[in-house]
């Protein structure tokens, strides 16, 4: 049987939220089978728990934000996508995430620090079958036209692979790869995707700060780009780090499905909002998906049974 996974032990981290700038303590705890990934605001007088599903996404400006029932006026947990991407990369199904503020800490701006935290706690196999959402027919969201066109698509595929293309028309980005494909079954998430950092442009800083965003951002956790070049002294971690971060985000956004996907995801200029609309469109059509398990782990798609134990 291909089994569900959680942590072997508890682990903690302290950091700041990239948008609000608040100090936040995060505790990652093991969770029982069929629990899912649950965020808990433990700083509130009455702790609030939010289970990861497409419907709890309440805001997608610059990050993926969750609220109970998707109520934008309710308690929030912001910037969940990097942690969820790490969970997907390690095949984690069940996890409790306690935080003491409304934003998950940004740490180094990628998923690598979360991968390290999760692996340091250890991955435990559980006595319950791992559930996948198998996409049975193509689902697509398209918005805009011409230079404003963006789209995201899920298609049937017995495994999980992603393809993403960006189009920023910026000298620093133009010098890098703007399209990347990645197969989660390769077992190379930690090496090829996890270290890609979020990025921002100096021209957008004043606008973001006026909206209460980016207050915790710095060159320690963001690739900063001016009109011509990358300003970080160490440069890029990957030649195509910009588009790889978009893949990293997409993996986290698709993890909002609540179970890992068996699908081919592809996108052009997509972001958190379009990714969430795509998941909601998928889940709204019962003919487009099914939940499957693998009684014989050797019958699972390549790599999915080996991801966590092999690392």
CA distance 283 to 264: 16
Q: Is 141 exposed, middle or buried (0-12, 13-18, 19+ CB in 10 A)?
A: buried
User: How is residue 268 written in tokens?
Assistant: 């052009």
CA distance 243 to 178: 6
Neighbours of 160 (CB within 10 A): 23
Catalytic residue among 19, 82, 259, 272: 272
User: How is residue 311 written in tokens?
Assistant: 């690392």
Question: CB–CB of 41/12 below 8 Å?
Answer: no
272 is catalytic: yes
Q: Is 24 exposed, middle or buried (0-12, 13-18, 19+ CB in 10 A)?
A: buried
SS3 label, residue 202: helix
User: How is residue 295 written in tokens?
Assistant: 């009684």
φ/ψ (deg, to 5) at 140? -140, 145
Contacts of 218 (CB under 8 A, 6+ apart): none
Question: CB–CB of 161/266 below 8 Å?
Answer: no
CA distance 142 to 170: 24
Active site residues: 272
């Amino acid at each position: 049987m291909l089994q569900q996974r959680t942590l072997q032990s508890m682990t903690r981290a302290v950091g700041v939220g990239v948008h609000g700038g608040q100090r936040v303590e995060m505790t990652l705890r093991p969770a029982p089978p069929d629990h899912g990934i649950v965020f808990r605001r433990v700083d509130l007088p009455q702790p609030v728990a939010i289970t990861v599903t497409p419907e709890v996404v309440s805001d997608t400006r610059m990050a993926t934000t969750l609220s109970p029932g998707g109520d934008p006026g309710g308690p929030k947990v912001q910037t969940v996508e990097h942690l969820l991407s790490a969970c997907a990369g390690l095949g984690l199904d069940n996890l409790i995430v306690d935080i003491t503020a409304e934003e998950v800490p940004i740490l180094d701006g990628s998923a690598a620090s979360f991968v390290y935290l999760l692996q340091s706690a250890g991955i435990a196999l559980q006595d319950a079958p791992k559930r996948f959402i198998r996409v049975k027919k193509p689902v697509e969201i398209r918005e805009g036209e011409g230079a404003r066109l963006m789209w995201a698509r899920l298609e049937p595929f017995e495994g999980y692979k992603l393809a993403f293309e960006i189009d920023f028309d910026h000298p620093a980005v133009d010098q890098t790869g703007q399209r990347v494909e990645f197969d989660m079954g390769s077992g190379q998430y930690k090496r090829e995707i996890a270290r890609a950092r979020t990025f921002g442009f100096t021209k957008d800083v004043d606008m973001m700060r006026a909206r209460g965003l980016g207050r915790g951002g710095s060159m320690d956790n963001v690739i900063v780009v001016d009109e011509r070049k990358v300003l970080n002294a160490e440069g890029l971690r990957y030649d195509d780090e910009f588009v790889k971060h978009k893949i990293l985000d997409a993996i986290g956004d698709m993890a909002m499905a609540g179970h890992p996907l068996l699908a081919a995801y592809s996108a052009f200029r997509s972001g958190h909002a379009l990714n969430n609309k795509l998941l909601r469109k998928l889940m709204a059509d019962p003919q487009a998906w099914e939940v499957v398990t693998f009684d014989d782990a050797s019958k699972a798609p390549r790599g999915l049974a080996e991801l966590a134990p092999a690392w």
